[in-house]
Amino acid sequence: MSLNAFLVVGALLFSLGAAGVLIRRNLIVLLMCIELMLNGANLTLAAFGAYLDDMRGAALVVFALTVAAAEVAVGLAILVALSRVYPVVNVDELDQLRG
């Protein structure tokens, strides 16, 4: 496959994630859309690393996936803590969190 095919798929993943973040208001869907955006960027980075025969791109992808996994763990922990206090998953209805 060519580099352009990987870049198009990465751009589509990132665009789908960005559209989901802007349109949806469910916290779980927002977390999934953020993950889609990160995976699109990781696919693009891995494609450029493979195209340039550089292993540093693959190492960066591994580090980015590690950070993304930690982000999901923290995000889900916050979501569970919020769901115990407020039984609402809609972001627009969580206006009581403002300082």
Residue 60 maps to which CATH number? 1.10.287.3510
- pLDDT given at position 96: 65
- pLDDT given at position 95: 67
Q: Does residue 54 lie in a domain region?
A: yes
Q: Does residue 99 lie in a domain region?
A: no
Structural domain span for residue 43: 3-93
What distance in Å separates the CA atoms of residue 93 and residue 86, rounded to the nearest whole number? Answer: 9
Chain segment 23-65, per-residue pLDDT in tens:
988 888 888 999 999 999 999 999 999 999 988 888 999 999 9
What distance in Å separates the CA atoms of residue 38 and residue 18, rounded to the nearest whole number? Answer: 10
pTM score, two decimals? 0.81
Chain segment 75-87, per-residue pLDDT in tens:
888 888 888 887 7
What is the number of structural domains in the chain?
1
What confidence tier does 97 reach under pLDDT thresholds 50, 70, 90?
Answer: low
Spell out the residues 6+ positions from residue 55 whose beta carbon is closer than 8 angstroms to its own: 49
Chain segment 9-22, per-residue pLDDT in tens:
999 999 999 999 99
What distance in Å separates the CA atoms of residue 42 and residue 36, rounded to the nearest whole number? Answer: 10
Using the CB atoms, write b or e for 64-79: b if 16+ within 10 Å.
beeebeeeeeebeeee
Q: Does residue 98 lie in a domain region?
A: no
